[in-house]
Structure 1
Amino acid sequence: MANTGKAGDKRIGAEALLRFLLPSIAGLLIFLVPLPLDDGLTVLFSLYSDWVNLHLGFVLVEAMVGIAIIGALLAVFHTIVKPQWRDTRPMLYAVAAAEPAWLALRIIGAVIALMVYFEVGPEVLRLEDTGIILVEELAIAFSIVLIPACFLMPLLTEFGAMDFFGTLVAPAFRRLFRLPGRAAVDATASFISASTIGILVTGQQYKRGFYTGREAVTVATNFSVVSLPFALVIANVSGVGDYFIEWYLCSVVACIFCAAIVPRLPPVSRIADCYIDGSPSQSVDEEPGDPLLRRCLDNALSAAANAPSVGAMLRSATHMLLEQLFGLMGPLIALGTLTAVIAFHSPIAAWISMPIAWMLTLFDVTDAARIAPGFLFGFMDQYIPTIVASEISSDRMRFILAGLSLCQLIYMTETGLVVLRVG
């Protein structure tokens, strides 16, 4: 009997180890491991994005318009008819339910998408730098990111990878950023893969009780940096591609520096440090006598052993995908287009950016009035600083504006909406 038990323990240990290693390695390869190509570094996820654009590009615009319209119609139907879907059809309820402000944004986004597609309505809403870029580029990029974010990120979050690396860096992460070690996986996924992925993972971890409210806000607002592939796009469009490494390193250092400071300042520092069920934060420090790698492996194997079934993960991923896709497409198009109109085609941008223009003149910046909106309107749309940078001649200001596009983490046309939606 004793020998059988030992053999069984070894068999179970091997199974648990494979259950941890295989999904975790797959997730790392998909989202985090840089791949050298002829034209530079990328990740496997970026190759998937290129493949989708190449082979499905002929239907993507129509799909975005259709999603915006369906999202608006479902929200209108739910608001007027008030069907009892919360308990009977929870997935449909998550897609259709919308507060008045979200309902208005869904409708506006659907109308703008139709105007862009059929080339009707006010021209200012369907120019290359307003409605067209939102419907034909930003909306598509957001949707392409969302699918693997929902269905494949569990490879990193559910099978022990987050627990292994979290335990490994917990002391340093807690000391530097006031965060649990598992937030390191969120941060890495955001830095290399996509900011939306990091926010969605953070929302999931908060709802499952792994982050307190303060920790979730800290991770979402300080580590949701745009992906490495997109950083290359920003650099090339802004005209700083020739010194990409220097620019990217400066931007990353700036992000890390801010991430160490911001959690210690209001309002983030004043957010309740308790879990979603109201319980207070608990120390995650392990007993110093345990070997670090042993603690990492034990926590990883425990997480892998308790991972949800494939069916449960697929249902959860489908729920999240539909909720985010139909709930955010219209608001993304609406807010992004209206922001671009204000920034590029109205005097409002010049008026409210006058103080920034004045400050820039103190540093002998030429054409300050033209550059200033890029500093201000990046909060509404991440592309604004990049577009401004592409139109100016100063290398120094292109470098700074491109850095803002990378470091200005929360912008309302995408990450801000995702934060509001998952919060």
Structure 2
Amino acid sequence: MSHSDEAFEGADETRADGSPSNVLRLFVPSLLGILIFFVPLTIDGKTTIPLDHMVTGARHLLGALDGWYALALIVAGALYPVISGQWRRSLTDRVFTVLKWLGVVAAVMALSGWGPAALFEPDMLPFLFDKLVISVGLIVPIGAVFLALLISYGLLELIGVLMEPVMRPVWRTPGKSAIDAVASFVGSYSIGLLITNRVYQAGQYSAREAAIIATGFSTVSATFMIIVAKTLDLMAVWNLYFWLTLLITFLVTAVTVRLPPLSRLDDTKSVTEDAVPAGQRLSTAWRTGLAVAARAPGLRRNVALNVKEGLLMAIGILPSIMSVGLIGLLLAKYTPLFDWLGLVFYPVTALWGLDEARALAQAASAGLAEMFLPALLMGDAGFAARFATGVVSVASVLFFSASIPCILSTSIPLSVGRIVVVWFLRTLLSLLLAIPAGYMVQALAGG
């Protein structure tokens, strides 16, 4: 994928012109990507976005083999850190390698039916494996193919240059971070974090800027949001859900950058960004988008690359979802841990008069363990509570099963303590905005 500094360095100016073929190269893949992710279609009486239809079709084709497919990905994900030696890098990597192997055990139990009866209650292993893990295992690789159309042909870079005047005053980050921010949101937080870390190591982001991007923008991708929306029965309002979640995520980030601990991080850097000449922002954005489109790899190569990235991401996250997700569900059902944590958020949820105020507060606190847990816990709630849950699980950004270990593996100076404080602030602010947004969407959707 071409983002940030890659969009600006070494562009082939002879090809980055306004020729019809280059303009088509910029817009055709981008518009197709928009169609796949944001334009609902009705097929066999079911109205949803084309990507969701594709995943449904793929699962239908797999039939009874869908569970074995998911198990194969989970085993591959547990083997990967052992074979690559990644488990040796840090204590965090060793802990998550163990958790991934626990995920293998849990997946084998789910598939075979062997194990304690308590684990096979409908809201435990069966729900986790059948409704979540298998869906994620399909949607991430398939979604990666079409995300390539959305983010690899210059649209994001064009938008990024146009967004430069907004980024610094609102989010206190350089203009080029607009590209990383949106790419992380619609692409992959892991890839987004790698890009952010590379730019930080090159001296083009300060520690504060890198931390803001890592904790404020590098949330789960649109493909994962589809899983959340399906789990919470929100696909009928997918576009409202997606864009309001993006808006709330970015609004919350605009507040957290002005609060400790982010506001107190070092803001010095060795490289400053080039300013866009006055009066030339639109033309610069146009040229940048065309340059990226001209340099983008061929469609076949791009699809192959993104399928590989999607599979690596799927095997990286599925074992953790299986183990951390199950542990979280067991803690939520059989211990008062999330009841206690939820007390912190209860005043905010109660403020809006929700019937499920306490349950939503507890579910929001469970998001620290795994971002899918709130959706699993609130699947049967009322519409406003389900909508708020879907927004908060994404907008809080940080969770221990994936994004926090990714951040800890970078050079960005964020400790676990600082990350948890940022998570708390993000969750509190997200709840404050997401509940009224849920009421608004309920009214717009006709009840």
What TM-score results when the alignment is normalised by the length of structure 2?
0.69
Q: Secondary structure at the match of 1:379?
A: coil
338-347 vs 216-225, which moves further? 216-225
Q: Supply the distance in 1 between the matched residues of 2:406 and 2:286 (Cα, whole angstroms).
A: 33
What are the Cα deviations for residues 220-253 of structure 1, in whole angstroms up to 9, with x where unaligned?
A: 433436636456436536xxx8988887776555
**Structure with greater Cα Rg:** 1
Match of 1:173 among 162, 167, 170: 167
In structure 2, C-alpha distance between the alignment counterparts of 1:250 and 1:162, rounded to whole Å? 19
Shift of 1:118: 0.9
Deviation at 1:282, TM superposition (A): 1.8
* Residue 20 to residue 122, structure 1, CA distance change in 2 (3 Å): farther
Q: Provide the residue aligned with 1:324 in structure 2.
A: 313
Matched, 1:68 2:74: yes
Moved more, 101-110 or 21-30: 21-30
Q: 1:350 aligns with which of 328, 336, 339?
A: 339
SS at match of 2:199: coil
Note if contact 1:234-1:402 (Cα within 8 Å) is conserved in structure 2.
no
Q: Which amino acid aligns with 2:39?
A: L
Decide whether the 8 Å contact of 1:177 with 1:260 is kept in 2. Answer: yes
Where does 1:4-19 land on structure 2 (aligned, <5 Å)?
12=15, 18-19=21-22
The CA distance in 2 between the partners of 1:10 and 1:378, in whole Å, is 46
The 1-side partners of 2:393 and 2:293 are apart by: 37
The answer to whether residue 281 in structure 2 is matched with residue 292 in structure 1 is yes
Cα separation, 1, equivalents of 2:304 and 2:386: 45
Equivalent residue letter for 1:233: K
Label 1:35 to 1:204 Cα distance change in 2 as closer, same or farther (>3 A): same
Alignment of 1:78-227 (within 5 A): 78=83, 99-148=93-142, 150-151=144-145, 153-185=147-179, 187-188=181-182, 193=186, 197-206=187-196, 209=199, 212=205, 214-223=208-217, 224=219, 227=222
1:75–1:97 Cα contact (<8 Å) kept: no
Unaligned runs of 5+ in 2: 1-11, 412-447
**1: CA distance, partners of 2:404 / 2:56:** 25
Please state if 1:35 is matched with 2:23.
no
Question: Using a 3 Å threshold, how does the CA distance of structure 1 residues 126 and 281 change in structure 2: closer, same or farther?
Answer: farther
Name the structure 2 match of 1:337.
326
Question: Are the aligned partners of 1:199 and 1:419 in contact in 2 as well (CA < 8 Å)?
Answer: no
Contact persistence 1:71–1:96 (CA under 8 A): no
383-392 or 125-134, which deviates more: 383-392
Change (3 A) 1:252 1:112: same
Q: Between the two proteins, what is the percent identity of the paired residues?
A: 21
Amino acid at match of 2:52: S
CA shift, 1:344, in A, is 1.8
Which string of whole-angstrom CA distances, capped at 9 and with x for unpartnered residues, describes residues 255-312 of structure 1? Answer: 33212112233333455557xxxx63422421215x2222113323443455567898
Q: d(CA) in 1 for partners of 2:359 and 2:126?
A: 22
Number of the residue aligned with 1:89: none
Comparing 308-317 with 118-127, which one deviates more in the overlay? Answer: 308-317
Give, in angstroms, the shift of residue 116 of structure 1: 1.1
Name the CA shift for 1:146/1:214 in 2 (closer, same or farther; >3 Å). farther
Could you tell me how far 1:217 is from its partner in structure 2? 4.2
* Residue 198 of structure 1, CA deviation: 3.8
2: CA distance between counterparts of 1:159 and 1:349? 43
Q: Displacement of 1:396 after TM fit?
A: 5.9
The TM-score normalised by the length of structure 1 is: 0.72
CA distance in 2, matches of 1:314, 1:36: 23
Partner of 1:83: none
Gaps of 5+ in 1: 1-8, 79-91
Distance 1:268 1:63 in 2: 41
Determine the structure 1 residue equivalent to 2:29: 26
Q: Compare 318-327 and 158-167 and name the one that shifted more.
A: 318-327
Superposed CA deviations along residues 182-203 of structure 1, whole A, max 9, x for unmatched, are 5445555666x5xxx2414413
The CA RMSD measured in Å over matched residues stands at 4.3
Deviation of 1:26 after TM superposition, in Å, equals 0.8
In structure 1, the residue matched to 2:62 is 56
Name the CA shift for 1:106/1:388 in 2 (closer, same or farther; >3 Å).
closer
Counterparts in 2 of 1:48 and 1:360: CA distance versus 1, 3 Å: closer
Contact 2:141 2:307 in 1 (8 A): no
- Aligned equivalents of 1:367, 1:156: Cα separation in 2: 37
For 1:236, the equivalent position in structure 2 comes to 233
Cα deviation 1:392-412 (Å, max 9, x = unaligned): 56x765554454345333333
Aligned to 2:273: 283
Q: Retained in 2: the 8 A contact 1:134–1:337? A: yes
Distance (whole Å) between structure 2 residues aligned to residue 130 and residue 319 of structure 1: 31
Deviates more, 1:210-219 or 1:155-164: 210-219
Letter in 2 for 1:339: G
**Aligned counterparts of 2:410 and 2:137: Cα–Cα separation in 1:** 16
Q: Kindly tell me the number of residue pairs found equivalent between the two proteins.
A: 388
Measured in 1, the distance between the counterparts of 2:59 and 2:69 equals: 13
